[in-house]
């Protein structure tokens, strides 16, 4: 039974590892210009339609941005250049991704800090609970136990 | 006349709420517990007043009474009856009337169910808290958000609701379900406040409100998913969740509420986490009010149309009051809330609940931060920035993966502590299930570490839940599916199905845009579509252009685009060829130019997306199963719980 269990776990481990490796290998990022343009468009917000990105929106300005992204990708501009160009053209809130510098970076940092703090508190709590369990027996406890032992 | 009736109804409801509140305050202050029941009379007055107001509004809507400003600006003669009926919750004032109505249903039901315990101070304080909330909402309806304002010169026809809100029957159900969830959390909140005030912090009151919490949670879950489904079927962009502030506003209380229904089990079982659980309940209710503030004050831009209004400061004030009272009460009772007991091992049932709660809290924090961050930055230095889907996707993916892991592990762990051997033996089946699902996913083409890991963990969760259900059913027959743990496991299966649909439709969808003439074909991801013909018809005053599209193997579908005379932009109505494998989502991009039959069709292929709705259904069924008590145990246990004054 024991052995059968061990072999099964090994098998599961192999399958999971193989699947994960395959998933990473297969995920080769944007292969074509079209895929790259698609990824950029999905992070550009339509300036006039409250939160929809330019892929989702049927507004004329969204269509304009879509074709501008296509053009810029075809020209061989980098992702960063295209984003900067769009921000100059339509305002910085066209980017669905908040900036990674200045005050805006806080939105990325705060959750990580909160996560670290939460885990830290949890470790602390477990430490306290564990130490709480190892209570030194008082003299009375020892006396009671001894009395019981002698009785038996 | 109907306006007068409605105003009268709201007035009576307000009088009832104030009367009930006053009578409870007087009775509690004079320690005359025999007088608590006087509040029941006033609650009955309040409920009747609210019913009169709702009926008056429905009469006005169904009879096209355009002398009412609300009807004139939100309804038209040509609106179909179902949507006339649903216009009650189509705009700001009416939606608050619905809020008041649902609140009345809950307060009425709580009063009925606890009428024998009305002399109990805890119940009296809970009713008092609920009545404070009622006074606030009926106060809004009586003044700043009066739905029964009249026009001196009524128009011949009204403006009508945004056409998006009147072309799908889901619009008639989704808001109601959502409100039953939102408003339902008033009940556990009130009991939490009552427990803090009376100092009865034991577990009794938790048991007596368990069913109410579950009903609120289940309604909110189903309500949110129905909203997602509506968005998918109607809005035409092929998505169902946009991390829009209004969606986030409904999601936040769901997150804290979900954390609560899990961590409360630790309290019932081990007496621990009292402060935490109370805080979660208080936060859940505060977040519903905060969400209402965000969406009804105009501070945030959103596709959901609740504009304007002077309600902002009032709602913010109410939110602040809730926060101050809650924090003060928890601080005041802090010492008594400290529980004995300890969690011995992280590898235990309570350890996994703790992990679950930490993750849910973190999840809620990210959603809240992302929602209000643009507001904060703009008020600090005037910069305008956006926090959109890519942010939420990136931050929430690791938390979601960790949650799935905790969700699968929890049912396998025992209380106190679990040895590695026991875990290795119990987890074998579920882990094999997860590995198999993962393997199959990769073989049929899934890629990317996050998605594949998520799908595998979904399989693990299903395995663990089925294992639990199989063991429970072996002991208790079909009743193994009921009760909190049975129903909970069914809900876990639903969440996994939902996760499959969510992950694969986000990570593996494909898209194509085609310019087609009749007879032309295009293909995306192995699906061939053929444009058959264009029809251009008038539906009453509205011009409807339809493109008949043949989806190979699925039949004919006709996405449409409609020009409403009362609404500027034409509205595109998608058509979806659904299957359990994938959806072919078709939408017409624009009305073709005059004399041309060239259409622009957007085609989205979304694998497994239908499983999101199936998952939602399973979650709903799970909640119902959890509410069904094991036979004969409920009432006695509840009475024990409430009448044990010693607690």
Q: Percent helix, strand and coil across chain A, each rounded to 5?
A: 70, 5, 25
In B469-581, DSSP assigns E strands to 510-516, 521-524, 527-539, 542-551, 555-557, 560-563, 571-573, 575-577
Residue A133 with chain B: CB contacts under 8 Å: 342, 344
Judged by CB atoms closer than 8 Å, whether chains meet at B236 and A114 is answered as no
- The pLDDT value recorded for residue B177 is 94
Q: Give the model's confidence band at A101: pLDDT under 50 very low, under 70 low, under 90 confident, else very high.
A: confident
User: What does the pLDDT average to over B401-415?
Assistant: 93
**SS3 of A122, please?**
helix
Contacts of A62 (CB under 8 A, 6+ apart): A46, A49, A52, A54, A55, A56
Q: Is the ipTM of this complex over 0.85?
A: no
Contact B613, B204 (CB under 8 A): no
Same domain, yes or no: A25 and A39: no
Contact B490, B465 (CB under 8 A): yes
Judged by CB atoms closer than 8 Å, whether chains meet at A118 and B377 is answered as no
Same domain, yes or no: A14 and A66: no
Q: Give the model's confidence band at B157: pLDDT under 50 very low, under 70 low, under 90 confident, else very high.
A: confident
- Residues B549-585 pLDDT 10s: 999 999 999 999 888 877 777 888 899 999 999 999 9
Which of the residue ranges A38-47, B199-208, B250-259, B357-366 would you say has the lowest mean pLDDT?
A: B199-208
- The pLDDT value recorded for residue B307 is 53
User: What does the pLDDT average to over A54-67?
Assistant: 80
Count structural domains, chain A.
3
Residue B239 with chain A: CB contacts under 8 Å: 56
- The pLDDT value recorded for residue B409 is 93
- The pLDDT value recorded for residue B362 is 95
The sign one gets for the Cα dihedral B56, B61, B64, B67 is positive
Query: Searching chain B, which residue's CA lies closest to the CA of residue A128?
Result: B342
- The pLDDT value recorded for residue B32 is 85
Residues in A 61-100 with any Cβ partner in B closer than 8 A: 91-99
Same domain, yes or no: A81 and A125: no
User: What does the pLDDT average to over B69-75?
Assistant: 89
Same domain, yes or no: A22 and A35: no
Q: Give the model's confidence band at A132: pLDDT under 50 very low, under 70 low, under 90 confident, else very high.
A: low
Same domain, yes or no: A15 and A40: no
Same domain, yes or no: A7 and A18: yes
Q: How far is CA B323 from CA B25, B326, B327, in A?
A: 21, 5, 6
With a pLDDT cut of 90, the percent of chain B lying above it is 51
Q: What is the mean pLDDT of chain B?
A: 88
Same domain, yes or no: A25 and A46: no
d(CA B464, CA B427): 7
Inform me whether the C-beta atom of residue A125 falls under 8 Å from chain B C-beta atoms. yes
- Residues B294-346 pLDDT 10s: 877 666 655 555 555 678 888 899 999 999 999 999 888 877 777 667 777 88
- The pLDDT value recorded for residue B304 is 53
Q: Which of A13-27, B118-132, B160-174 has the highest mean pLDDT?
A: B118-132
Which of the residue ranges A25-34, A86-95, B263-272, B277-286 would you say has the lowest mean pLDDT?
A: A25-34
pLDDT at A88 over 80: yes
Measured in angstroms, the CA of A124 and the nearest CA of chain B are apart by 12
Same domain, yes or no: A82 and A125: no
With a pLDDT cut of 70, the percent of chain B lying above it is 94
pLDDT at B492 over 80: yes
Smallest CA-to-CA distance from B168 within B602, B588, B563, B574 is with B574
Same domain, yes or no: A9 and A60: no
- The pLDDT value recorded for residue B630 is 56
- The pLDDT value recorded for residue B633 is 41
- The pLDDT value recorded for residue A2 is 76
Q: Give the model's confidence band at B180: pLDDT under 50 very low, under 70 low, under 90 confident, else very high.
A: very high
Inform me whether the C-beta atom of residue A3 falls under 8 Å from chain B C-beta atoms. no
- Residues B375-407 pLDDT 10s: 888 888 877 888 888 899 889 999 999 999 999
Same domain, yes or no: A130 and A118: yes
Same domain, yes or no: A45 and A82: yes
Q: Give the model's confidence band at B289: pLDDT under 50 very low, under 70 low, under 90 confident, else very high.
A: very high
Same domain, yes or no: A82 and A65: yes
Query: Helical H runs in B30-118?
Result: 38-62, 69-74, 81-86, 92-113
- The pLDDT value recorded for residue B617 is 96
User: What does the pLDDT average to over A34-46?
Assistant: 83
pLDDT at B43 over 80: yes
- The pLDDT value recorded for residue B631 is 53
Residue A103 with chain B: CB contacts under 8 Å: 377, 380-381, 383
Q: Which helix (H) or strand (E) holds B399?
A: helix B389-409
Backbone angles phi, psi at B528, to 5 degrees: -105, 130
Query: Which structural domain range is residue A133 located in?
Result: 104-151
Measured in angstroms, the CA of A137 and the nearest CA of chain B are apart by 18
Inform me whether the C-beta atom of residue A7 falls under 8 Å from chain B C-beta atoms. no
Q: How many helices (H) and strands (E) does chain A have?
A: 6, 0
- The pLDDT value recorded for residue B105 is 96
Domain locations along chain B: 1-167, 201-418, 510-607
pLDDT at A135 over 70: no
- The pLDDT value recorded for residue B557 is 93
Contacts of B459 (CB under 8 A, 6+ apart): B433, B434, B435, B436, B437, B438, B496
**SS3 of B523, please?**
strand
**Residue with the larger pLDDT of the pair B337 and B85:** B85
- The pLDDT value recorded for residue B615 is 96
Choose one of A51, A67, A97: the last residue of a domain: A97
Residues in A 17-36 with any Cβ partner in B closer than 8 A: 18-20, 22-24, 26-27
Residue A57 with chain B: CB contacts under 8 Å: 237
Inform me whether the C-beta atom of residue A116 falls under 8 Å from chain B C-beta atoms. no
- Packed helices B2-29 and B38-62: angle between N→C axes, nearest 10 degrees: 160
Residue A102 with chain B: CB contacts under 8 Å: 383
Judged by CB atoms closer than 8 Å, whether chains meet at A92 and B383 is answered as yes
Q: Percent helix, strand and coil across chain B, each rounded to 5?
A: 65, 10, 25
pLDDT at B459 over 70: yes
């Amino acid at each position: 039974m024991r052995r059968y269990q061990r072999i099964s776990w090994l098998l599961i481990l192999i399958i999971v590892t193989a699947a994960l490796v395959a998933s990473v290998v297969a995920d080769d990022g944007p292969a074509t210009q079209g895929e790259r343009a698609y990824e950029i468009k999905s992070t550009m917000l339509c300036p006039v339609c409250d939160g929809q990105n330019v892929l989702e929106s049927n507004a004329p300005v969204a269509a304009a941005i879509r074709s501008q992204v296509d053009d810029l990708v075809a020209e061989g501009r980098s992702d960063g250049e295209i984003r900067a160009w769009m921000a100059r053209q339509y305002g910085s809130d066209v980017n669905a991704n908040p900036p990674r510098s200045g005050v805006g970076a806080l939105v990325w940092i705060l959750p990580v800090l909160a996560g670290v703090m939460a885990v830290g508190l949890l470790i602390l709590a477990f430490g306290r609970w564990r130490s709480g369990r190892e209570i030194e027996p008082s003299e009375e406890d020892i006396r009671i136990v001894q009395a019981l032992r002698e009785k038996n | 006349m109907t306006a007068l009736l409605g105003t009268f109804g709201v007035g009576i409801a307000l009088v009832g709420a104030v009367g009930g509140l006053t009578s409870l305050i007087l009775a509690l202050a004079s320690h005359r517990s025999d007088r608590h029941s006087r509040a029941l009379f006033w609650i009955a007055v309040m409920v009747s007043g609210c019913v009169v107001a709702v009926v008056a509004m429905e009469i006005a809507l169904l009879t096209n009474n355009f002398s009412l400003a609300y009807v004139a600006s939100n309804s038209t003669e040509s609106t179909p009856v179902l949507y006339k009926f649903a216009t009650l919750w189509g705009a700001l004032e009416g939606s608050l009337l619905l809020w008041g109505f649902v609140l009345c249903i809950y307060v009425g039901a709580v009063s009925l169910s606890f009428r024998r315990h009305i002399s109990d101070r805890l119940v009296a304080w809970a009713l008092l808290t609920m009545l404070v909330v009622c006074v606030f909402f009926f106060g809004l309806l009586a003044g700043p958000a009066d739905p029964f304002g009249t026009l001196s010169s009524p128009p011949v026809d009204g403006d009508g609701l945004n056409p998006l809100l009147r072309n799908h029957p889901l619009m008639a159900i989704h808001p109601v379900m959502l409100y039953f969830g939102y408003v339902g959390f008033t009940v556990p909140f009130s009991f939490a406040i009552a427990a803090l005030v009376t100092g009865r912090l034991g577990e009794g009151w938790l048991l007596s409100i368990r069913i109410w919490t579950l009903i609120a949670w289940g309604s909110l879950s189903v309500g949110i998913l129905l909203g997602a489904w509506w968005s998918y079927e109607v809005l035409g962009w092929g998505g169902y969740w946009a991390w829009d502030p209004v969606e986030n506003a409904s999601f936040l209380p769901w997150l804290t509420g979900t954390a609560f229904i899990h961590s409360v089990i630790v309290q019932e079982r081990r007496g621990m986490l009292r402060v935490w659980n109370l805080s979660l309940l208080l936060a859940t209710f505060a977040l519903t009010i905060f969400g209402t503030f965000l969406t009804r004050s105009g501070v945030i831009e959103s596709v959901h149309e609740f504009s304007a209004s002077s309600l902002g400061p009032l709602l913010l004030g109410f939110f602040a009051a809730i926060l101050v009272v809650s924090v003060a009460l928890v601080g005041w009772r802090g010492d008594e809330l400290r529980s004995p007991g300890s969690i011995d091992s992280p590898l235990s049932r309570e350890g996994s609940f703790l992990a679950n709660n930490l993750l849910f809290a973190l999840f809620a924090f990210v959603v809240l931060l992302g929602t209000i961050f643009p507001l904060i930055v703009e008020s600090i230095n005037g910069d305008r920035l956006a926090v959109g889907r890519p942010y939420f996707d990136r931050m929430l993916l690791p938390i979601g993966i960790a949650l799935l892991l905790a969700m699968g592990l929890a049912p396998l762990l025992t209380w106190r502590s679990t040895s590695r051997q026991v875990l290795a033996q119990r987890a074998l089946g579920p882990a094999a299930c997860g590995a198999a699902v993962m393997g199959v996913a990769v073989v049929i083409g899934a890629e990317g570490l996050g998605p594949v890991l998520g799908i595998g963990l979904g399989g693990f969760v299903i395995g663990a839940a089925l294992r639990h259900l199989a063991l429970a059913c072996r002991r208790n027959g079909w009743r193994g599916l009921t009760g909190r743990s049975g129903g909970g496991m069914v809900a876990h299966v639903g969440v996994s199905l939902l996760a499959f649909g969510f992950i694969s439709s986000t990570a593996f969808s494909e898209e194509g845009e085609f310019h087609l003439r009749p007879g032309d074909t295009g293909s995306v991801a192995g699906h061939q579509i053929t444009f058959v013909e264009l029809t251009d018809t008038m539906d009453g005053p509205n011009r409807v252009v339809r493109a008949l599209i043949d989806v190979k193997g699925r039949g004919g579908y006709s996405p449409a685009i409609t020009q409403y005379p009362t609404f500027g932009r034409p509205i595109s109505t998608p058509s979806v060829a659904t299957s359990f494998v994938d959806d072919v989502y078709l939408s017409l991009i624009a009305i073709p130019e005059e004399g041309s039959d060239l259409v622009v069709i957007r085609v989205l292929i979304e694998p497994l997306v239908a499983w999101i709705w199936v998952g939602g259904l399973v979650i709903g069924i799970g909640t119902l199963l959890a509410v069904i008590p094991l036979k004969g145990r409920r009432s006695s246990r509840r009475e024990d719980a409430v009448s044990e004054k010693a607690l």
